[in-house]
Chains A and B, each alone.
Chain A
Amino acid sequence: MLIRFPQRKLLIAACLCLSGGFGFGKELELWFVPMSQEGPQKAGLLQWVKENFPKELPKGITVAPNYGPPIYQDAQQKFVVQGRRGKPDVIEGVLEGMIAYQKAGLIAPIDDLLNQWPEKDHFIPSTIKALTINGKVYGVPYNTNVRVLLYRKDLLQKYNLQPPKTWEEMLADAATISAKEQNVAGLALTTKAGSVRTFQEFISFFFQVNGGQNPFKYDEAAKKWSMNTSADKLGQVLALYHDAFFKATPAAVNQNTRGNDYQATDADYVAGKSAMVPMGPWIYSYRKTGETARKILEENTGVAPLPLPPGGSQATYLEVKPIMINAATKNKQESWNVIKVLCSKDFVAMDAKLEGINPPRQDVADLPDFKSDWWQQAFTQQIATGVALAPINWGLVVNDITEALQKVIYQNNPADKVGEELYNTLQQRAQNNQL
């Protein structure tokens, strides 16, 4: 029997209500770059996403199986343009991106939610501090790392060298290896223009010179950023790069590798083409790419803190990856529930193991698996010396710094002069409110 018109309308309305409100629950949009990437290194994570992620989510919440752009830069640009419409509800990113989102008012502070979460105290304080801007927390960390010095134990031993403790020792040891070991550079540095890795290496050395301080500080009275360093200090770091490429013959760093980006730096180390390199923990995943890489990383690599300049302090770049909530989302509580899953002990432990990076949670770092892992321990010991970037727009500063660095290593310009130019440029940016 046919259902009469008014009843049919009511039935359709009821079905819509059920499907929207109760049957399927709320579907959130999550952008999580590693979940959008492919390749053998991501297989474990993708399998977890497919099989376990839906089960881990609280009842009534689903996440759309499209995790946004697979590249951080793309995700950042798209979120800046479209974030105000409320989608994605949850976004994972890098610290520099979080700072831009906070400036644009695109992400919500989460202090109230975080403070009520019993697991809050398991996070390493420096990683939460890195995500705090003007006293408010804008993200929960799920991944962290610092820069250290990787060195080839076998090569240092061969030439009776100890892991260097000062810049001077590092350059001298590297020059010795460059001179004596065929086709191996003593040291490798990333120096591509505009490259984030180039900047991260530079800023690690800079933090040591600048007493673990950022190059800018916020002037409360003037309500703007001002310089927190000197031209001499910038020049001192630039001089390190100059000396690395030019002081000795053959040089500590192979001059033909000027302009290298991270792919070449990483590939050269695991291929045995360099003996020392400032590096993060991710390179350990290369051990699956071949026997040479495995042998170098598992048997012949040592980890040491970055060598120090005269009078410098132990400091290094701290990378923290946060998960944030869109300020315009209509599902703040549900978004927070998704974050709790992705920052849980289980997920952080699994992700740190898979990606070879460090956990920002102390309870994960204390797990037997991590305690007995020499690689994890070597990096975790340095996390306390990590310095987070100040909450400014680093985009233009990255370009300024990498350009200054290239002026020194290509045109062989005096480091002090370039340091002064760089200081003036950065000061002008601060004065013009471009930070």
Chain B
Amino acid sequence: MERNSTTRYSNELKTINCKRLIPLKRWFEYLGTAEVRHAAFGYALLAPAVGVILGLNLYPTLTGILNSFTDQSLLNPNAWRFIAWQNYQKLFVDPVFRVSILHSLILTLSAVFLQVALGLAVAHLLVRKVPGIHWFRSVAMVTWVLPIITEVVMFRFLALPNIGLINLLLAAVGLGSMARNWFGDPSFAFLLILVMHLWRNVPFYGVAFMAAMQAIPQDLYEAATIDGATAWNRFRHITLPHLRYIILVMVVLHITFTFNNFDFVYLSTGGGPVDATEVLATYIYKQAWSGYMLGYASAGGVVMLVTLVLLVVLSRRLIGGFAEQ
């Protein structure tokens, strides 16, 4: 009965001529209907989440974009001038910025690619029923739960020139001439940053892929084996398609994580030696907190945001297309 009256009011309001004044009473009657009450309850439930997103994500993002067109300084934030595109022009003529954007892209793409490849290999090991595998599954996640600072300090001590374990081991096997300050060597510092990313994330990929692999029906593999499919074909045509969604999630998450990551580089090398490990996050940080140039740093942040969105869209397209196949 009430449903019928709601529909009646709704239809009446839809067909009403806009030029005609709607009687106020009719509006109140409409607002009191179950349809409106139902919708209002939904919006009320959504409101806190929308408020948080607007307050914590959208507002800072928009403020950052607006700041990027000003010469605002952190030391005197109220005195700023609109300088249009000057910050962006300065950014793109700065060779260190160009190097840092290149490093960020190389690090992100290589780290994510290697994490997926090695994660699949680890997952294959983890699903096998071999002695001790349960114990291994339990400890595999330790690298992922360790705080990043702990990991970086550990690697830094391992790589110290005179008393680091890596150099001591090299000396012990007669390769003492190879000993060096690994984080201080332009040829190895970037590689070590990549290794730290892999060390932290590969076990996490492995466990996530293992969980998805365990959900694949075994009879598919049995049928394929009977049909003469090789191990590679079983992986290519059964395992990989079943893992496509988890791969998509992991890739998108880790593109964001790696591209935004600041801690590994800043804590281990500070961007050096000679900018060999400078990435966008550390470059922007230095502009904001060493030079207090908030406007300029915001311009860097906007470029970072745009690049990151492009990377995520591209990866979704690539892996999404593969998923459709």
Contact = CB atoms under 8 A, between A and B. Distances in A.
B75 A259 contact: no
Given A194-B270, A267-B160, A273-B163, A258 B74 contact: no
B151 interface: no
A395 interface: yes
Contacts of A103: 75-76
B287 to A, nearest CB: 8
A434 B291 contact: yes
A43 interface: no
B273 A258 contact: yes
Category for how many chain B residues contact A:
20 to 34
A259 B271 contact: no
B64 interface: no
A73 to B, nearest CB: 8
Given A393-B75, A396-B290, A271 B162 contact: yes
Contacts of A258: 181, 184-185, 273
Nearest to A402: B272
Contacts of A416: none
A268 B184 CA distance: 15
Secondary structure type dominating chain A contacts:
helix
Category for how many chain A residues contact B:
35 or more
Interface stretch (A140-148, A203-211, A405-413): A405-413
Given A77-B289, A80-B74, A395-B291, A192 B272 contact: yes
Given A193-B272, A195-B270, A410-B274, A254 B186 contact: no
Interface in B268-290: 269-275, 286, 289-290
A271 B269 CA distance: 23
A81 B189 CA distance: 33
Nearest to A393: B292
Contacts of A37: none
B308 interface: no
A132 interface: no
Contacts of A406: 272-274
A229 interface: no
B209 interface: no
Contacts of A264: 160-162, 181
A399 B185 contact: no
Interface in B233-286: 269-275, 286
Contact of B74 (A81, A193, A256, A434): A81
A228 B290 CA distance: 22
Interface string B36-76: 00000000000000000000000000000000000000111
Contacts of B272: 192-194, 259, 402-403, 406
Contacts of A263: 156
A331 interface: no
A104 B75 contact: yes
A257 B181 contact: yes
B168 to A, nearest CB: 11
B76 to A, nearest CB: 6
Contact of B271 (A183, A194, A267, A268): A194
B205 interface: no
28 contacts: A80-B292, A103-B75, A104-B74, A104-B76, A192-B272, A193-B269, A193-B273, A194-B271, A194-B286, A256-B179, A257-B181, A258-B181, A258-B185, A259-B272, A260-B184, A263-B156, A267-B160, A267-B163, A273-B162, A393-B75, A395-B290, A395-B291, A395-B292, A398-B290, A403-B274, A407-B274, A410-B273, A410-B274
User: Which A-B residue pairs are the 6 nearest by beta carbons?
Assistant: A259-B184, A193-B272, A395-B290, A104-B75, A194-B270, A256-B180
